[in-house]
C-alpha cells in the first residue's frame, strides 16, 4: 500500500512539473484540508480526484469536498465539483441517489429519444421455434423508433415511514422502472403506417449502496433486479421472457461509468414458451458504458454476447447525444441531436434471432 502511495506521489510531482499539468494549488488544498494522520486515505483520494478532473478545478472546489464516513464500514466517499458542462451525463452517485443530497422522485433511466432509422435487413418473416410466420410482411427499411424510460424510488432511507425506517436498511433503495421501445413503420402508408413492434419492460430494482469511492476495485453500487419484457403481440409474433439479474456499477472517472450485468431467465412451460432459444441469441448478461466527452456529448454503449465459441452471437448499440449542438435545433425545449448505430441480434424482442445493422438520427430528451 505504501508503494502505491509513493508511486502516486511521484506521479503528482511529474504532473505538476509538466506543461499540461494540473495547477499545484488544488493539490496543496487537498493537503491543507486533510492534513491529519487519520485523514491519509481521504487525502490520497482527493489527489486522485484532482488529477483526474482537469485544470478547470479550482481551490474553491476543494473547499467543498465532502468526505462522509460510512457508519458501518468506515469507508469514505469523496466528492469533487465537476466542471461546467452542457450534457446530461450523471455519475452513478447522482443517477442512483447514492449521496444524501441526491435528487429523488421520477428520473430518466435509459436513453430517451425519437429517431428515423434504416436497416440493412428488414425482418419480414419473424419466427421462433414455437411460432412460424405464415406470411411475409410488407415492411420498409426505414422506420421511426422511439424509447421512453424512467425510474422512481418506492422505498429509501429518506422516504421510509417511521414504522418502516426501523426495519429498512439505510444503504438500500427499492426502485420501479419502466422502459418502452417502439418501432413504427411511419412511411408505410400502403399498410396504414402500423407499429411493427413494441417492447414493454417493467422492472423492480433493489440498489445496495456500497459507499465505495471513485476508481475503486469494488463497485459503488450493486443492483438486484426482477424484470419482465414482452411485445404484447398475438401469435405468431408474441415474444416474452422474465429474468432476475445482478448488476454492478463502477465509476471509473468523473465522466465514465461501467455497469456489467448477469441475468437468469425464469423457467417457463416449454409448450407455451414463445422464444425458448432466446438465450442462444441474447446471452446471459450485458455490459453498459456511459460517459461524457468534450463537455459537449453523452454516449451510451451496450454490449451483449451469448459467450459461445461455436455459434457466437452478439449485439452492440451506440447512442450519442450531441448536447453541444442543441442551440441549432428549431425548437426551444430541452432536446439534442441523437445518433444511434446498432449491429447484431435483438434490436427488438421480435427480432431476437434476426441479425441486422441499423443507423438512425433524431433527437434525444
- Residues 26-58: tens digit of each pLDDT: 666 676 666 665 566 677 677 677 665 443 444
In this structure, what C-alpha cell is assigned to residue 27? 493539490
What pLDDT is attached to residue 204? Answer: 98
Q: How confident is the model at residue 72 (pLDDT cuts 50, 70, 90)?
A: very low
71 is written with which cell numbers?
Answer: 457508519
Mean pLDDT score, 90-118: 90
For 230-255, write each residue's pLDDT tens digit: 999 988 899 999 999 999 999 999 89
Residues 201-226 have pLDDT tens digits of 999 999 999 988 777 889 999 999 99
Alpha-carbon span 315 to 283, nearest angstrom = 10
- In 3-state terms, what secondary structure has residue 296? coil
Which position among 228, 238, 253, 257 bears the catalytic label?
A: 228
Long-range CB contacts (< 8 A, 24+ apart) of 132-140? 132/236, 133/236, 133/237, 134/236, 137/196, 138/188, 138/190, 138/191, 139/185, 139/188, 139/196, 140/185, 140/187, 140/188
Q: Is 228 a catalytic site residue?
A: yes
**CB burial of residue 172 (10 Å; 0-12, 13-18, 19+):** middle
Answer whether 124's CB lies under 8 Å from 135's CB: no
Tell me the pLDDT band of 65, cut-offs 50, 70 and 90.
low
Cβ atoms within 10 Å of 190's Cβ, excluding its own: 9
Average pLDDT, the chain: 82
CA pair distance 153, 8, nearest whole angstrom: 39
Helices 2-17, 40-53: inter-axial angle, 10-degree rounding: 40
pLDDT of residue 157: 75
Q: Residue 234 carries which DSSP code?
A: P
Helix axes 2-17, 24-33, angle to 10 degrees: 140
pLDDT for residue 92 is more than 50: yes
Rounded to an integer, what distance in angstroms lies between the CA atom of residue 125 and that of residue 240? 18
Cell numbers at residue 343, please? 449491429
Q: Which of 16, 59, 160, 230 is catalytic?
A: 230
What pLDDT shows up at residue 334?
A: 76
Domain spanning 95-364 has what CATH number?
2.40.230.10
* pLDDT for 4: 42
Report, as an integer, the average pLDDT of 345-352. 97
Q: How many Å apart are CA 203 and CA 223, to the nearest integer?
A: 12
How confident is the model at residue 83, as a pLDDT?
39
The stretch 132-155 carries a mean pLDDT of: 91
Q: At what angle do helices 40-53 and 24-33 cross, to 10 degrees?
A: 160
- pLDDT tens digits, 266-280: 999 988 898 999 999
C-alpha 319/C-alpha 220 separation (Å) is: 24
Give the three-class secondary structure for 303.
strand
Q: Where are the domains of the chain?
A: 2-82, 95-364
Residue 34, φ and ψ in degrees, nearest 5: -115, 60
Strands 172-184 and 142-155: antiparallel
Q: Is 230 known to be catalytic?
A: yes
The pTM score is: 0.76
Amino acid at each position: 500500500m505504501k508503494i502505491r502511495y509513493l508511486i502516486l506521489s511521484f506521479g503528482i510531482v511529474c504532473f505538476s512539473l509538466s506543461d499540461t499539468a494540473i495547477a499545484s494549488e488544488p493539490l496543496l488544498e487537498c493537503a491543507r484540508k486533510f492534513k491529519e494522520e487519520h485523514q491519509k486515505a481521504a487525502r490520497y483520494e482527493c489527489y486522485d480526484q484532482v488529477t483526474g478532473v482537469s485544470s478547470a478545478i479550482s481551490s474553491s472546489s476543494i473547499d467543498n469536498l465532502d468526505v462522509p464516513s460510512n457508519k458501518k464500514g468506515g469507508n469514505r466517499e469523496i466528492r469533487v465539483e465537476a466542471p461546467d458542462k452542457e450534457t446530461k451525463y450523471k455519475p452513478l452517485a447522482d443517477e442512483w441517489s447514492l449521496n444524501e443530497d441526491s435528487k429523488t422522485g421520477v428520473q430518466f433511466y435509459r436513453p430517451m429519444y425519437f429517431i428515423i432509422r434504416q436497416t440493412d435487413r428488414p425482418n419480414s418473416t419473424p419466427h421462433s421455434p414455437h411460432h412460424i410466420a405464415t406470411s411475409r410482411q410488407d415492411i420498409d427499411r426505414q422506420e421511426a423508433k422511439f424509447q421512453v424510460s424512467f425510474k422512481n424510488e418506492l422505498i429509501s432511507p429518506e422516504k421510509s415511514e417511521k414504522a418502516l425506517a426501523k426495519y429498512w436498511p439505510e444503504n438500500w433503495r427499492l426502485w420501479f422502472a419502466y422502459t418502452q421501445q417502439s418501432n413504427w413503420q411511419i412511411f408505410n402508408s400502403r399498410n396504414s403506417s402500423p407499429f411493427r413492434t413494441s417492447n414493454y419492460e417493467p422492472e423492480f430494482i433493489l440498489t445496495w449502496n456500497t459507499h465505495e469511492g471513485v476508481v475503486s476495485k469494488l463497485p459503488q453500487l450493486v443492483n438486484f433486479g426482477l424484470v419482465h419484457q414482452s411485445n404484447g403481440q398475438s401469435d405468431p409474433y408474441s415474444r416474452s421472457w422474465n429474468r432476475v439479474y445482478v448488476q454492478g456499477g463502477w465509476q471509473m472517472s468523473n465522466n465514465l461509468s461501467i455497469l456489467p450485468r448477469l441475468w437468469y431467465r425464469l423457467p417457463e412451460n416449454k409448450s407455451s414458451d414463445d422464444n425458448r432459444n432466446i438465450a442462444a441469441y441474447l446471452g446471459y448478461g450485458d455490459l453498459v458504458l456511459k460517459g461524457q466527452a468534450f463537455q459537449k456529448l453523452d454516449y451510451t454503449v451496450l454490449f451483449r454476447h451469448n459467450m459461445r465459441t461455436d455459434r457466437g452471437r452478439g449485439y452492440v448499440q451506440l447512442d450519442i447525444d450531441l448536447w453541444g449542438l442543441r442551440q441549432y435545433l428549431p425548437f426551444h425545449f430541452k432536446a439534442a441531436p441523437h445518433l444511434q448505430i446498432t449491429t447484431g441480434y435483438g434490436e427488438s424482442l421480435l427480432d431476437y434471432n434476426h441479425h441486422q445493422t441499423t443507423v438512425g438520427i433524431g433527437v434525444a430528451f
